[in-house]
Amino acid sequence: MSGPNDPAEVAAPELLDAAGREAEKAFAEAADLAELAAVRAAHLGDRSPVLLARRAIGGLPAEVRSAAGRRVNEALATIQAWYEARHAELTRLRDSVALRAEAVDVTLPWDRRPVGARHPLTTVMERMTDVFVAMGYDVAEGPEVETEWHNFDALNFKRDHPARSMMDTFFLEPESAGLVLRTHTSPVQVRAMLERGAPPIYVVCPGKVFRTDELDATHTPVFHQIEGLVVDEGITMAHLKGTLDHLAEVMFGAGLRARWRPSYFPFTEPSAEFDVECFACRGGSVGNPDRPCRTCRSEGWIEWGGCGMVNPRVLTACGIDAERYSGFAFGMGVERAVQFRHGVDDMRDLVEGDVRFTLPFGSEV
Ligand code: PHE
């Protein structure tokens, strides 16, 4: 009779095969990693049949020792490989069960209110206003439904001035009431001068204005302006220039140049329109087809607003001594500032009120 303790039989192929089959079966039946760990010792531990066989090999006769050693090592490697394969399989199983159990259903309705965001028009308008408040200006506001007198007459618009025509202005019914939706923030200048009376007057007037434009990528019938007015003794155009340069630097970056072009407004004399150097290309795109600039359309400058020295007729209409005092005024579009400051190409994005547009600006303070 031969048996496992018989030195001649310790590495018999049938015994190793049987040990292998049992190990494979035990590993396969282990339902999870804990069960696998529990059966490991019986098949790969020091007292498992294959390791006992390996220990006994030294006592075998020399002529069968090396063949027996090879068989034992092969059997051991096979059992080891089964063990590792089952271990990997059970690990994957455990992970997938965990992933499923811990999954969050992102489609479930939630009960928190979605947050809104301040509109960039509001934040940019406040930022511009703050620049003037820091220089000692007061903030002045006026009505959006304005009298023709404040909107036009007091500002030296003649009766036949084209801006009065139905093309630009929303008139309120009945026309005889002489009421319009203000076409600019300049009537607030008039009100500020009438209310305050004696200079010095330093006011900034942010607000909504209306013109009969169709809404498209570059126009909107309702938009925003910021107007500034200074009336004091000895005010010159140099003060105006320094003020606008300072605003451009704060809004668009240090060292940005401003450019003035001669223009005409009935309420300022002389008058100019002012452009700011394109903050995106700083003029680098001009005459340089390899580096086109979307922000300024490769012109190097961006039109921003109008300005000038207050026409003495306006001062007189508002009861201010035009011999003693002089002043400057300027006004610019807030939409334009938002558009080029934040690269908003389409005006409609600013007016549609979609919170997905406003949210990315929400952190601006
Ligand atoms: N009110 C002018 C406009 O709407 C801008 C402006 C304001 C120009 C003040 C000069 C001085 O176009």
pLDDT at 3: 44
Average pLDDT score over residue span 329-343: 88
Of all residues in the chain, the percent with pLDDT exceeding 90 is: 59
Provide the terminal-to-terminal Cα distance of the chain, rounded to the nearest Å: 94
The closest alpha carbon to 259, from 269, 243, 244, 247, belongs to 244
Question: Quick one: pLDDT at residue 10?
Answer: 67
Hey, which residues does 139 pair with through a beta bridge?
204
Is the CB–ligand 1 distance for residue 187 below 6 Å? no
Whether residue 267 has pLDDT greater than 80: yes
The overall average pLDDT reported for the chain is 89
Backbone angles phi, psi at 207, to 5 degrees: 180, 175
Please give the residue that has the higher pLDDT: either 217 or 272.
272
In the reported structure, the alpha carbon of residue 216 is separated from the centroid of ligand 1 by a whole-number distance in angstroms of: 22
Give alpha helix (H) positions in the chain: 13-29, 33-44, 49-56, 62-102, 120-134, 148-151, 186-196, 237-252, 312-317, 334-342, 347-351, 355-358
Distance from C-alpha of 58 to C-alpha of 45, rounded to nearest angstrom: 19
Domain 120-361 CATH assignment equals 3.30.930.10: yes
Asked whether residue 356 carries a pLDDT value surpassing 50, the answer given is yes
Best substitution site from 150, 219, 265 to test ligand 1's pocket, by max atoms within 8 Å of Cβ?
A: 265
Cα separation, 211 vs 167, in Å, equals 8
Atom 9, ligand 1: residue with shortest CA distance: 330
In this prediction, residue 141 carries a pLDDT of 94
Q: 254 — alpha (psi -120 to 50), left (phi > 0) or beta?
A: beta
Of 227-231, 270-274, 312-316, 338-342, the poorest mean pLDDT is in 338-342
Q: Is 336 in the pocket of ligand 1 (CB under 6 A)?
A: no
pLDDT of residue 166: 61
**pLDDT value at residue 2:** 42
Structure tokens at 167: 């093309």
- Nearest residue to 228 (alpha-carbon basis) of 209, 210, 247, 250: 247
Q: Give the Cβ contact number of residue 26 at 10 Å.
A: 20
What does pTM read for this prediction? Answer: 0.67
pLDDT at position 363? 59
For residue 224, report the distance from its CA to the centre of ligand 1, in Å.
Answer: 12
Range with lowest mean pLDDT among 141-145, 256-260, 308-312, 318-322? 256-260
* 265, two tokens: 């407004």
Q: Which of 152, 164, 180, 186 to mutate to test the pocket of ligand 1 (most atoms within 8 A of CB)?
A: 186
Q: What is the DSSP string of 33-86?
A: HHHHHHHHHHHHSTTSHHHHHHHHGGGS-HHHHHHHHHHHHHHHHHHHHHHHHH
**Would you state the pLDDT for residue 218?**
78
* Sequence spans of domains, the chain: 7-101, 120-361
Give the per-residue pLDDT at 345: 77
Stretch 187-210: mean pLDDT:
94
Q: Give the lowest-confidence range in 65-69, 153-157, 361-365.
A: 361-365
Euclidean distance between CA atoms 361 and 358, whole angstroms: 6
pLDDT digits (tens, 9 = 90+) for 57-114: 888 888 888 888 999 999 999 999 999 999 999 999 999 999 999 998 888 887 777 7
CA distance 66 to 72: 10
